[in-house]
Amino acid sequence: MTERSSIAFTVYPDDCDAFGHLNQASFLALFERARWDAIARGPGMDVFTRNHVQPVVRKTTVEYYEQVFPGDRLYFSIELAQQGQTSFTLRQSARKEHGSRPVAEAELVFVCVDRDGKPHAVPDEITALFGGRPSRRTGVTQHLSVNGLATAVDASGDGVAVLLLHGFPLDRTMWRQVSGKLTGWRRIAPDLRGFGLTEAPESGYSIGAYADDLVALLDTLHIERAVVCGLSMGGYVAFDMVRRYSDRVRALILMNTRATPDNAEGRAKRDATLARVRRDGPTFLAAEMLPKLLAPATRQTMPDVVEHVRNMITNQVSDGVAGALAAMRDRPDSTLTLSGIDVPTLVMAGRDDQIVPAAESRTMAEGIPHAQFSVIPDAGHLTPMEQPVNVTRVVKEFLESLD
């Protein structure tokens, strides 16, 4: 059995918060209740105890799409997304009665440990319950081995491949609104190493390592060339792909990014942030970065976007964030790369971007032969999340212009 869709709960008033809707903590509790209900119906709730093992949550990614209120009846599905020898990933979704799209989705990575805290094999009963083969449905998250790392990828559609590279410290889900509207193209949005549901090596790595991973991912997906679209840190990776793997880049989209390296002050700030992440974990980044990442209009009128960004940041792991900080600190100067870019290029900026001002993006675009430049109103540093309709329109026009 790969999916269980018969688990249903009615939302009661005491499940909801003071505003009368199901809040995030309660949603997580219902997801947990659905898992245990499935296990109780299957091998029994003592399955882990019988096997002298406990499942420990290593990472959780949750998305909320629609509010839920008392009296709503939710139907929960659970499917196996990935399984290793000692770990497994479950994908859960909740839908309202007669609803076609999820109101919330969650992916949870579990590691099985014994009484001494050492990794232990996943019980056979769990494999049999949720299915021995991970889901590979088109349009959902795939879990692939890329350069030896378990890598999460959102892949959907057909046609010319568009590789969507997220910024720091975010994950692939930042692209979902834009990706969902880019019908007619093959959209590929991976979690870069160390982010989202992709493994985080403990040793440090460079921007080049991200690029190497992406080329290996294209090989795995049998894609010769792709339109590479990178936002912020993703743009740094896109520059590296242009320098070292130009034959794999069909066109380039650079969003809210810069070609210049960190100066001495910037490197010192990276070092200070890295030290704090190592000491305290990355959770503090949400409070510090949110005012800079999003335009004032977004923060005031789009609470769902604010919460999505906050969740992405707080769900990251220290090794991944630290690795990215070091990689960005040590990234090469790409200003000399600009004049040599010989593929169609679109540069996009948010009018209210506090991190990479629109004027800087315009100057960068002027350094790239025949590059197009577009400014998105009412957007800060995360234009695809803040203005997905406008961003999709501009990107579509660019993609349609390609030979």
* Residue position matching structure tokens 């378990």: 150
Cα separation of 77 and 54, whole Å? 22
**b vs e for 178-209, b when ≥16 Cβ sit within 10 Å of the residue's Cβ?**
bbeebeebbbbbbbbbbbbbbbbeeeebbbbb
φ/ψ of residue 235, rounded to 5: -65, -40
DSSP assignment string, 193-219: TTSTTS---SS---HHHHHHHHHHHHH
Contact 39, 49 (CB under 8 A): no
Tokens for 301?
A: 């009128």
Cα separation of 315 and 194, whole Å? 11
DSSP-derived pairing of the beta strands 87-96 and 73-83: antiparallel
Preceding omega of 123 cis (within 30 degrees of 0): no
DSSP 8-state code for residue 119: B
Cα separation of 24 and 159, whole Å? 37
CB contact set of 361 (below 8 Å; sequence gap of 6+): 254, 256, 257, 258, 347, 348, 349, 353, 373, 375
Contact 43, 99 (CB under 8 A): no
Is 17 designated active site? yes
Alpha helices per DSSP H over 259-372: 264-280, 284-293, 296-301, 303-314, 318-329, 335-338, 358-366
Catalytic residue among 15, 17, 191, 213: 17
DSSP 8-state code for residue 91: E
- 172: number of Cβ within 10 Å: 26
Q: Which residues are catalytic?
A: 17
